[in-house]
Amino acid sequence: MKKAFSIILLPVLVAATAASSFISGPFKLMILVLSALLFFVAVVKTDMALIILIFSMLFSPEFSLGGVSGRAVVVRFDDIFIFVIFFGWLAKMAINKELGLIRITFLNRPILAYIAVYAIATLIGLLMGPISLKEGVFYLLKYFEYFLLFFMVSNCLNDKEQAAFFIRLILFVGLAISIYACWQHLTGVERVSAPFEGEGGEANTLGGYLMMIILLSISLLLNTSGFKFKAFLYLIIFSAVPALLFTLSRSSWIAFAFGLLALIFLTTRGRVVLFVVFVATIVLSSVIFPAFVINRVTSTFESTNKYTVMNRHMSLDESAIARIESWHKAYRMIVKSPFIGHGASSAGPTVDNQYARILIEAGVLGLLAFIWMAMAILKNCFIYLNELKDDDFSRGFFAGFMAVFIALLVHSFGAASFILIRIMEPFWFLMALVVVLAENAPFIKSSAGS
């Protein structure tokens, strides 16, 4: 046991030391100490390490690595924590031989296919020269850390009570972030963002996160009868909706509307009420929404910037033009390597479109692997939702998660949503909880591993 424990501990300390060598100031010692402590917590009590990780998802500071440029490669404590907890989990597996390594799920094959395409594309990109070794490897690790989180959580948790606890904990963090965003707005911040986002922040990222929290809360609210839990969900919604508006993120607003529309079709309880609220909000939008929201929407087409779209001259603001340019860049680069792309990091930091980024970095094969993964999620969640009859909590969670996923697919047209750590960590944690809840419903166990 001691030998296995030491073998796993060694790469953790080496990795933490290597990471800290890039970091200046007091963060060096802090990362080493916290990594060592978190590793032992992960070995002794993995649940507690996951609780720490949930809080660090939105509350961890960020720092940049020397020589690696671009906002997409900003590192946070939780980037390191994921790997530390993962190694701690491996140590626990080595010590306790009875614990399984990887749970068989419907996502194993599409995830492995996606990873394989990206790895091959990056290797070719390194050999051909479009990307550097440091940036290529770093982006690759950053992209795949979320899948480590999914496999780790889906293997560590085993029953519905654990899953329900972590869902509530994620929502609690969402409430705290919503209150923080509202406080930011009251202090005069024009576009709110998550804590420790650095100068300027990432309002679009926070918008995508809040969109997830609101949709999940609404779905659970429609499918629960407990007074305390309902009051908790109402508090989240009434805090998170204004916070979402304060982000001034148009892509998040549009994605939320699509997610809400999807939820109307997916839920069986409260469907009529939800539909009436949805329609009334659209019809009365000019009256309901404050002036800054209306101005943000209309400013899209009231800019002095002229841009030609399909031979038509249009006035678009810089943000909208950047989204269109992402597709132009994708086209210019994909014709040079259509099937496998140019490797991780080749899209650069300016492509705020998930699909354009995948085409540039992993080509058509990468996009097909992503679509396979997306279809597997939608298909299996829909199966779970239809086969659950008496479990209101799980039904509400599955419906809400599907609405969240559909909203993220829409959000990805205005952001590289599936590589943003503030969005992807909670998303893949929730995805693992989908698997746990499904495997604890006896009548759909066969579907969970198909």
The larger pLDDT score, comparing residue 54 to residue 323, is at 54
Q: Could you give phi then psi for residue 186, rounded to 5 degrees?
A: -65, -25
43-47, 176-180, 340-344: which has the minimum mean pLDDT? 43-47
The answer, as to whether pTM is greater than 0.85, is: yes
- H/E stretch holding 307 reads strand 306-309
pLDDT number for residue 339: 92
Contact 264, 273 (CB under 8 A): no
pLDDT number for residue 65: 56
Q: Is the pLDDT of residue 12 over 70?
A: no
Nearest 5 degrees, angle CA 137-CA 140-CA 144? 140
pLDDT number for residue 430: 97
Closest CA to 324 of 296, 300, 295: 300
pLDDT number for residue 328: 80
The DSSP call for residue 195 is T
Q: Where are the domains of the chain?
A: 1-101, 105-450
The larger pLDDT score, comparing residue 442 to residue 28, is at 28
The DSSP call for residue 159 is S
| Mean pLDDT, rounded, for 274-303 | 86
Torsion of CA 54, 60, 66, 69, to 10 degrees: 80
Q: Is the pLDDT of residue 428 over 90?
A: yes
**How far is it, in rounded angstroms, from Cα 404 to Cα 266?**
12
Q: Is the pLDDT of residue 72 over 50?
A: no
pLDDT in tens, 242-257: 999 999 999 999 999 9
